[in-house]
Amino acid sequence: MNKLLVSSSPHIGSSMTTDKIMKHVVIALIPACIAGIFVFGLPSLLVLIVSTGTCVLTEYLYNMLTKKPQTVEDFSAVVTGLLLGMNLPPTIPLYIPIIGGVFAILVVKMLFGGLGKNFANPAITARIFVMLAWTKAMTTFVQPIDYSQGFFNAMTSHFSTMFGGGVDAVSSATPLGIIKGSLNGGGGTISILNMFLGYTAGCIGEVSALALILGGVYLIVLRIIDWKIPVLFILTSAIFALIFYDNGIMYVLPTILGGGLLLGAFFMATDYASSPNTSIGVIIYAIGCGFITMLIRRFGGYPEGVSFAILLMNLVSPLLDKYLRPRVFGVARKKPFAKKE
Amino acid sequence: MIKKSDIVKNGIIKNNPTFRLVLGTCPTLAVTTSVMNGISMGLATTFVLICSNIIISLLRNIIPDKVRIPAYILLIATFVIVVEMVLRAFLPDIYDALGLFISLIVVNCIILGRAESFASANTVLDSALDAVGIGAGFTFALMLMGFVRELLGAGSIFSWSIPVLSDCAMTIFILPAGGFFAYGFLMVIFNQLVKKAEERKKQKAEKGAER
């Protein structure tokens, strides 16, 4: 066989293909999903399956109907679907993950040209879409299931809430909801240990900080995500928690562990297509995410602001790339005040 | 010489102010939260458009070229005030729903655009027909927007709630963001349909020519 290959650039390939990266991301998300299922029971598994299935099916059908090459095998729709499902409350009516999944894939991803061409993270945008569409359903959270009634009963106990039982629906405030309420003179206590392990009310994939950190570290070690984004995002949030709240030191840990901060910082802000490409751009992007998150959490109407922060910074990132383009090696520096001849 | 019926038809389809010319987007996005609002805004604008087109066409040889824009605006504003007073007196509900956007008809690009590009160069009858066509196109577009947004956003049509849909209404379609979604998708569908229809016409014409 001829060992000399003649080909056009690029000449350096990588064994890390898109579908491999996406499979690693799925692996990294699995601990948080399992934690969510153990905390809220089987309804949350159903939500995850429905949202993932919808995303994959939408991409498959879109490619089939528009006669484009099939891209389902790259696993990115699975990641989007999982992330969307993890962003929803566990007892959400099932039409919401379906419409959210179609919106994420069809409107945000495929209509803009598919993977890598989306202007914002599809899962985040879909979450905001369903949040604004069905605010009440999206902000109704349930308590973790009670295992004292036996494993099977506990696992299925939230189904009655999900399918419109309503009578035994025990809605509950999330830790961030309690913090928001306490600013307006409300009461309630939060347990840092429960927030760390995930035994608290919240979205399916957001409750267990431990599982999310595990997954995030896995991706950082494999160098799939840029460590700067999650670290700076979380750090900035913590610093602004110190500044924004009275007696701020009390709020640092709940800020980091609560809501979607860890999920957003590790898995959603790091989306390749919608985060900046320059290293200075990434730093500004991550700090911006943290700052906007804390502005919304402290001063905004909603208790949680991670998704809005990421979406806003997604929109800014092309601009960051444009103005922070690094100097090409060997090219003279531009003189900003050079005289025109 | 363009046919009289084509003047009207062009306004609705080929030169549809909302979907093809993308004029008057401010009221299109702002007031179309329900079918009724869309229709009433469309009709109010149509009335002003017909009156202003007729008068401007009549005066087109008298108004000096240099001051034509202020003159047009003055004429348009007169009719807008008429509409505003009539609505306030006889249809206070609609007046409240549309609010400020009735006064803003004065600065609607569609009206000034037709005055400048059509009425100032055509006969009175043609200008009136053009206004009818453009007005109908605008009303149709606003009605469609209102229909989609009210159906999805509130689960109702003409304020009659539809059983299943009203339970899972997507509030976002009543909000400004949903207005942009509805506008974009309707524009895509409308333009696609028009393009297909034109292609079919062309093919037919070619076949006819071959025979």
Report domain extents, chain B. 4-210
pLDDT tens-digit series, residues A289-338: 999 999 998 888 888 889 999 999 999 999 998 888 777 777 776 665 65
Which of B171, B175, B185, B189 to mutate to test binding with chain A, by most A CBs within 10 Å of its CB?
A: B171
Give the pLDDT of chain B (211 residues) as one tens digit per residue: 577 888 888 888 888 888 888 888 888 898 888 899 999 999 999 999 999 999 999 998 899 989 999 999 999 999 999 999 999 999 998 898 888 888 889 888 899 988 888 888 889 999 999 999 999 999 999 999 999 999 998 888 888 888 877 778 888 898 888 999 999 999 999 999 999 988 998 888 888 777 6
CB contact under 8 A, B168 and A132: no
Instruction: Tell whether B168 lies on the interface with A, counting CB pairs under 8 A.
Output: yes
- Spell out the alpha helix ranges (H) of A173-305: 175-183, 192-197, 209-221, 228-244, 252-257, 261-263, 279-299
Question: What are the distances in angstroms from CA A224 to CA A73, A150, A235, B139?
Answer: 19, 40, 20, 53
Token look-up 């200075």 returns A280
Q: What's the average model confidence in pLDDT over A180-204?
A: 80
- Spell out the alpha helix ranges (H) of chain B: 4-12, 25-30, 35-58, 68-90, 92-98, 100-103, 109-117, 124-154, 163-167, 176-210
B114 φ/ψ angles, rounded to the nearest 5 degrees: -70, -35
Which residues of chain A lie closer than 8 angstroms to B170, CB-CB?
99, 133-134
pLDDT tens-digit series, residues A243-278: 988 887 888 888 888 888 999 999 999 988 888 988
ipTM: 0.78
Distance CA B108, CA B101 (A): 10
Distance CA A317, CA A314 (A): 5
What angle do helix axes B124-154 and B4-12 make, rounded to 10 degrees? 30
A171 φ/ψ angles, rounded to the nearest 5 degrees: -80, 155
Question: Can you read off the two tokens belonging to residue B44?
Answer: 């109010």
| CATH C-level class of A18-323 | mainly alpha
CA of A320 vs chain B CAs: smallest distance (Å): 25
Instruction: Tell whether B175 lies on the interface with A, counting CB pairs under 8 A.
Output: yes
Q: Domain segments of chain A: what residues?
A: 18-323
- Nearest residue in A to B165, CA atom: A95
Distance CA B38, CA B145 (A): 7
Distance CA A215, CA B113 (A): 58
pLDDT at A52 over 50: yes
pLDDT confidence of residue B53? 93
CB contact under 8 A, B171 and A135: yes
Contact of A332 with A142, CB cutoff 8 Å: no
CA of B103 vs chain A CAs: smallest distance (Å): 30
CB atoms within 10 A of CB A242: 16
CB contact under 8 A, B172 and A93: no
Beta-bridge partners for A41: none
Contact of B57 with B75, CB cutoff 8 Å: no
CA of A76 vs chain B CAs: smallest distance (Å): 24
Distance CA A214, CA A227 (A): 14
- Nearest residue in A to B166, CA atom: A134
Closest listed residue to residue B141, CA positions, set B49, B24, B59: B24
pLDDT at A341 over 80: no
- Nearest residue in A to B149, CA atom: A133
Contact of A237 with A290, CB cutoff 8 Å: yes
